Structure 1
Amino acid sequence: MATIGIELCDAGIQTAAVDDANSPAPLEVPDGAGHTEWPGFCHAEGAKLVFGRGGEDNWLVHPRRVLHTFWARLAHEPSTLSNGTKLLSFSELSYFFLREYAARLKAAKSVDKIAIAVPSAYLKDAATEDEKVGLLLGMAGELKLPVAGLVDMACAALCDPRAHGFNPALPVVVIDLQLEGADITLCGTDGKLERKDFIHLPNSGYAHLLKLITGTMGNRFLRHTAFDILEDGRIEQTFFRQTKEFLLSDAPEWRYHINTATRGYEMTAKREQLAGDTHAFAQTLVQGLQTFLQQSPHHSEPCTIALTDRTGHLPGIETKLRTAGFSRLLRLPRGAAACGAARIAANRLAVPSDLADVPLEKSVPLTDTHRGATSLWEARLHKHRHTQSRLIPTHAIMEGVGHVLGTKPRFLIGLGELGADLVLPESFGAATDCTVPLLHEGGRLWFLDQGRAHGAAGISRTTIDAGDHLTIRCGQATANILFAHCPDFHSQHGSVD
């Protein structure tokens, strides 16, 4: 019996399984034709509905009989597809899709429990969350799926043990491409990985990207061969399939080959051409990211940008992000959210007796995540035995130099590359995630003891008074910081920000 993680992304549902004490691994779930891809497409052939790869293979052949928006628009409202007698709602199409997928999953693996990584757009506000999560759980109940939990897709993706770990001292921004738009999720890392902010960028989705490059490559093919792929829907669909395989291959070049009843046509395309065709698409995505972070009250610099596998295949995206000043990039493996969800469920989730009790997790303990390797470090606050009234410190003194604490809500001690206000010596270079945040709150200065975290309950914190000192150690490196009060400082300088 295996613990299953499902990545409910309509660009391609992914599955992972955990057997016994093993790490999560991708699980291939073949459809009736043997295809293991499950894009969120449905093709209506009278009363017969064909889902996944079979639906996508008819997208350009019978465009009016194919729909790919039902997962994104999960609701009771009617779609444009009919089963021959009535128009089917988006929720009905989603249910029929999930029913077929679940049957194929159970045929491929014996299932103990399931955790579903849900699209971040499902959780954008309370009304949307109630509607879409309620419908999803209703489907799971109807299909008798042993659901142990639902997890925000961005958080789940950062729990994949196959990925290169992220720096837990920095916020993480996850960029993912769904069929109908791009999802950008900002996750905080103070004590736990927590979804803090979100934006959905319409017209920046995977479906738009695929249609864009199929069109531009088709025009190039016409100029090269004098043959128009739009002459026949099936030929256009074949060309689409080759274009998608080119995109996902990351190959430097690709040979297109189209056969007709009379002859064959060929063209070699270069990766540079694909990058040129997607330049505006990628640039729009980066600009949307920049605007989102500038406007988000939860953002702080620097941060890590995590690209899902779908996003990472976008030509030139990493170069554009670095040019825009995002130097910390993390590319997640294929099916990262599925593996992350499976890991979370295997470690600590059980199937409740009532679907109403299925947890929806928008934050996970850092112990669930996969963080980057770093040397161990510790920070200890030593309280001074005060004989007089306790004074609020104005300065932190390290190696004989005083540093103004100011009145900003957060004062950070750590490595310079992490944007620290008080930079530790170079001997701390091995502690890549070493950050000690101090908080100004309620007229006091507080030390957050990250070594005494109590799960979701938060982090232990202690007031800092003048005369207290902080010791930070990493291996042989030690820093001693004395907190002092300068009586004339505020009268001479006023409020310091």
Structure 2
Amino acid sequence: MKTVGLELNDVGVLAAVHDGSAVNLIDLNDTSPRPGWPAFVLKEPDGLLFGQPAEDRCMESPRQVCSTFIEELSHGSSHLGGAQKAPAYSELTYFFLRDVLDRIRERVGQIDRIHLAVPPAYLEERYGRSEKIGLLLGMIGDMEVPLVGLGGSGLISLYRSPPPPPGVKIIHVELFLHSIQVTVCTREDDIRSQACHRFQQLGFIRMMRVLSDAMGDRLLRETAYDVSEDRRIEQSFYRKILEVLASDDRSRETVLEIQGGSRSRQLRITQETLRADVSPYVESILSALDRVVRELDSGPDRAVLVLTDRAERIRGLEIGLRGRGFQNIVKQGTGAAAFGAAWRARDLEIPKELSMVSVDESVPIVSGEGEGDEVGVRPVLVRADRDDESTAEPPSHVVISGVAHSIEGDRFTIGSKNLEEEFDLKLSRRFSYSGLASCRVVRDDSGVYLEVDDGADGSGLRELIQSGDRIHFADGRKGADLLFIHVAAH
């Protein structure tokens, strides 16, 4: 039986499938530098085009492209193409969802059950809950999809993740195309959603506009070339910025090459300039989160702040959050809500009618033990942002929860207490929902390396590590970091 979890985020819709033994992400888009199928629609003379091809025309043909239909789901007009009889937001959402479901079926075959992780604002009356959920259920019913439940993506992404202590607030931050949505949850006997805050004009599109303007101005000053003079060049510029943001390579410098007319022009981007370019946008997000914290009965230092993979890629955001007092920051892996929804789909039964579909306001706390759950979690090496690689030092210590542990000897092993092995440094269960995670730090004449044994895909890992780098343990649900530092010998 194949159960599917669908993460309805318009930056890039993601899906995960549980085939009875494991949960895996489904690749819905192999033509973009970032994962997921983006919720854009392009109006062409012969019909509508959805997803990546539409986003690839968003700057070139802005009046013919709409990207607000998921967020604004309603009977209201989309004004697509400027026509008086433009399709409604609900009509665009219907055809987009049908396109996504067709893509899923092409990859996994028949869908036996599906659970939707929807934008958290869908479940708030002040943002139109009744209309949005009613429309969504009507679409699903018309498509004859075996829907078993739905819930806010912030809450669903926390399902089967290590819970914080009872009473601790969880602040979940997610990036959508036209908003930042913040879900506030608390852990008692279960994990319960308490509130959702939607901050419009702070989404991915705003970030791209801020970056495009800043980088375009710098290119104009340095080369006297204005990318906005030609919309095709502007579209290419947009795509190149996407590639920079989506890259896991946080190296010191990136060079954007812009082809305009008969000449090629280059714009050099350092991590420092990238953070400076996006800083006004980051400051707006931090101010929004300040308002959320003021409504809580505890300060930022006593809450757990969860960043999705999309939000974590906003350069400078984590640094700004720590400056605001958030010390307990957890970074989720790609598709956390899709994974959580796939697990929920397995747990729930298909209702007799759509009016009985479960709408999750809370999710049970699951220890992660049991049949099918003993899955090893491989660590991911996250490079530090450095302006000068030559200044990096080999690590001497690894920091966990603020405590530095000396890396002793030429072979230092790190692993979970749940594994039946002896480790130089034992991790607590929170480093993965299953508690199964291990790696080793190896020192030789050429440097210090992170090594991981072959995984299920047959690929091993051996990477040079330096001070400032992190190991990120994540299984698509929730992650935690180990920081490498260099302490000079006295």
* Shared fold (TM-score, shorter chain, > 0.5): yes
Q: Report the Cα distance in structure 1 between the residues aligned to 2:368 and 2:306, rounded to whole angstroms.
A: 13
Within the alignment, does 1:282 sit opposite 2:279 as a pair?
no
**Residue in 2 that maps onto 1:195:** 193
**Residue in 2 that maps onto 1:211:** 209
**Residue in 2 that maps onto 1:167:** 164
Alignment of 1:7-86 (within 5 A): 7-22=7-22, 24-30=23-29, 37-81=36-80, 86=85
**Residue in 2 that maps onto 1:378:** none
Equivalent pair of 1:193/1:363 in contact (CA under 8 Å): yes
Q: Report the Cα distance in structure 1 between the residues aligned to 2:165 and 2:237, rounded to whole angstroms.
A: 43
Is the partner of 1:351 in helix, strand or coil?
Answer: coil
Distance 1:263 1:326, change over 3 A: same
Is the partner of 1:117 in helix, strand or coil?
Answer: strand
**Residue in 2 that maps onto 1:235:** 233
Q: C-alpha displacement at 1:239, in angstroms?
A: 0.6
TM-score normalised to structure 1 length: 0.70
Task: Give the alignment partner of residue 182 of structure 2, picking from 181, 184, 194.
Answer: 184
Distance 1:123 1:135, change over 3 A: same
**Residue in 1 that maps onto 2:391:** none
Residue identity opposite 2:70 in structure 1: W
Is the partner of 2:302 in helix, strand or coil?
Answer: coil
The percent identity for this pair of structures is 32
**Residue in 1 that maps onto 2:116:** 116
Residue identity opposite 2:138 in structure 1: G
Structure 2: runs of 5 or more not aligned = 370-401, 403-426, 431-490
Residue identity opposite 1:58 in structure 2: R
Within the alignment, does 1:337 sit opposite 2:334 as a pair?
no
Q: Report the Cα distance in structure 2 between the residues aligned to 1:219 and 1:369, rounded to whole angstroms.
A: 50
Equivalent pair of 1:166/1:330 in contact (CA under 8 Å): no
Q: Report the Cα distance in structure 2 between the residues aligned to 1:127 and 1:278, rounded to whole angstroms.
A: 28
**Residue in 2 that maps onto 1:222:** 220
Q: Report the Cα distance in structure 1 between the residues aligned to 2:246 and 2:34, rounded to whole angstroms.
A: 16
Range with greater deviation from structure 2 (247-256 or 266-275): 247-256
Alignment of 1:484-495 (within 5 A): none
Q: C-alpha displacement at 1:277, in angstroms?
A: 1.2
Residue identity opposite 1:366 in structure 2: I
Is the partner of 2:192 in helix, strand or coil?
Answer: strand
Equivalent pair of 1:192/1:366 in contact (CA under 8 Å): yes
Deviations 1:94-140 (A, max 9, x none): 01111111111111112211110011011122772211111111111
Is the partner of 1:69 in helix, strand or coil?
Answer: coil
Q: C-alpha displacement at 1:30, in angstroms?
A: 4.2
Residue identity opposite 1:156 in structure 2: I
Is the partner of 2:79 in helix, strand or coil?
Answer: strand
Deviations 1:238-278 (A, max 9, x none): 11011011112143332211223412222221111110111
Q: C-alpha displacement at 1:181, in angstroms?
A: 0.8
Q: C-alpha displacement at 1:33, in angstroms?
A: 10
Equivalent pair of 1:166/1:304 in contact (CA under 8 Å): no
Q: Report the Cα distance in structure 2 between the residues aligned to 1:33 and 1:269, rounded to whole angstroms.
A: 21
Equivalent pair of 1:197/1:298 in contact (CA under 8 Å): no
Distance 1:49 1:313, change over 3 A: same
- Which has the larger Rg? 1
Q: C-alpha displacement at 1:296, in angstroms?
A: 3.8
Distance 1:105 1:297, change over 3 A: same
TM-score normalised to structure 2 length: 0.71
Aligned residues between the structures:
372
Q: C-alpha displacement at 1:332, in angstroms?
A: 0.5
Q: C-alpha displacement at 1:200, in angstroms?
A: 0.9
Equivalent pair of 1:47/1:83 in contact (CA under 8 Å): no
Q: Report the Cα distance in structure 1 between the residues aligned to 2:160 and 2:270, rounded to whole angstroms.
A: 33
Distance 1:202 1:368, change over 3 A: farther
Distance 1:341 1:134, change over 3 A: same
Equivalent pair of 1:176/1:182 in contact (CA under 8 Å): yes
**Residue in 2 that maps onto 1:422:** none
Q: Report the Cα distance in structure 2 between the residues aligned to 1:200 and 1:322, rounded to whole angstroms.
A: 22
Equivalent pair of 2:227/2:237 in contact (CA under 8 Å): yes
Q: C-alpha displacement at 1:322, in angstroms?
A: 0.9
Residue identity opposite 2:11 in structure 1: A
Equivalent pair of 1:26/1:339 in contact (CA under 8 Å): yes
Is the partner of 1:287 in helix, strand or coil?
Answer: helix
Structure 1: runs of 5 or more not aligned = 371-416, 418-429, 434-497
Is the partner of 2:220 in helix, strand or coil?
Answer: helix
Residue identity opposite 1:201 in structure 2: F
Q: C-alpha displacement at 1:84, in angstroms?
A: 7.6
**Residue in 2 that maps onto 1:455:** none
| RMSD, matched Cα | 2.8
Residue identity opposite 2:91 in structure 1: E
Is the partner of 2:195 in helix, strand or coil?
Answer: strand
Q: Report the Cα distance in structure 2 between the residues aligned to 1:227 and 1:289, rounded to whole angstroms.
A: 38
Equivalent pair of 1:37/1:53 in contact (CA under 8 Å): no
Residue identity opposite 1:167 in structure 2: P
